[in-house]
Structure 1
Amino acid sequence: MTNKLGVHALVFSGGTTPAEVDYIIGETKKAGFDLLELSLHDAANLDVPAARAALDAAGLGIVTSRGLAFAADVSSDDPEVVAKGATLLHDSLQITHGLGGTHFTGALYSALGKYGHALSAAGRANVVSTLKDLAVEAQGLGMTLGLEICNRYETNVINTAADALRLADDIGHDNVLIHLDTYHMNIEEDDLVRPVHLVGDRLGYVHIGENHRGYLGSGHLDFGAFFHALADISYDGPITFESFSSAVVSPTLSNDLAIWRNLWNDGPALAAHSHRYLSNIIEGTRAAV
């Protein structure tokens, strides 16, 4: 396994102002990571050229992620709401390209929040149509899209690997890949192994998070089994640590994800620990193969 290791920006800071981005990039580099995942929920404050220059200077790769808002939800039955979501996705793709990134991922298919109803057939058709167009645009830029599988309290579109594969099949473009997240898998999947095998070579991105989104190893997830499953399919893509605490607050994302608990106070210490943890488990997995 020769995976690049990443960390989510919310380990360090809740926004993306120039000062925050400089701090995030510095701490990401200091902790030893290869890439930074930046949520685009605060994109209005992001200075794209300055951020790209800082990433290049630090020698860091970049992945961006986002979910949508209910007022800009491409899974809606309302054409105006869908159109707003499509514009948001287009703008986010262009921001990612401007940052030098080639991978745009997340809940690109719905709002990020608890729905009070099941997904309608019309809403699903809107998701497929919108992401077909986005995939074509991404392909022209040499970029891939990730379908992050989220739990039932954050979306009603895809909750399992099987759901995501069906959606990707309907979108029908090779640059639409599957994004597994151990936190969400713990809620929705039967185990952490079979979904990896099911997705196989269509896996494009991985989030590592504990069952409570705190320190790796402090919860009950069987990361050993998960990493052996990744080795089984020869996964060589990015593996990004994701953790949230009320100690670092995003003006929008913390509420969307219900981050009410203070699971840690020191982001840099958490990042250093997670890099050691991931490096060690990958090394152990490699030795066992």
Structure 2
Amino acid sequence: MATKFGLLLMGKLPKQQIRNYSSDTNKLVFRQLFDSVSSTYTYLLADPGTRECILIDPVLEHAKRDFQLTKDLNLNLVYAVNTHMHADHITGTGSLKLLSGCKSIISSRSGAQADIFVDEGDYITFGGHQLKVLSTPGHTSGCCSFYIAEQGMAFTGDALLIRGCGRTDFQEGSPELLYHSIHTKIFTLPDETLLYPAHDYKGQTVTSVDEEKRLNPRLTKTLEEFVHIMNNLNLSYPAQIDQALPANKVCGLYDVPEDLKNGL
């Protein structure tokens, strides 16, 4: 039988990772960090008992900031996780690997390199906490959301935004698939679940399943209406896509700043 360690070496998480820690699962260290250039949210989650933590959707320019925060809080960064292969910024995952020795995680369908690949039903474990992986493609083919049931929180990446959703006009995007992903994977979570997106452009920080089911101007429409909306957004070409995608395909190591290559 393969051990957990062996599974990690093979680059795949097992379907379930249960650890017998005495950690109180209702306790979670949580920080929401921001990049003003790309309006990206990075999330720090940690188990206060074991001190293990993860970062979700880190940004290259803030890798030192985020790593310093883990040190300030006396935490051990075990995973740097991406909800998908971003087109609007270079991930900080590669830099954080150099700084901390953490493992990188992304969807097996993302087209990007990583130490560990995840898919629907997998769990990302840190201390006594578990994030359940929900496959939510449509913005890109490799989008995932992450759900932590004990705290009633989900991290939706670019799939579902606050009163919006990710665009579907590049990276194998599909409005039909995105609509299905949101309605069957995110909107089926408990109504009180708090939703934390990868971006917000109006200064909002959090929403809920109930709010988006009632108030999202795109997702309250029929599938046909939603597809029409998404196919007629006429959005501009992403400013950083030509730099971001090549870098993000190699875990963000394509363009690591010199001052990060030797740590802090």
Give the TM-score of the pair, scaled to structure 1. Answer: 0.29
Q: When you count helix as a share of all residues, which structure comes out higher?
A: 1
Q: When you count strand as a share of all residues, which structure comes out higher?
A: 2
Give the TM-score of the pair, scaled to structure 2. Answer: 0.31
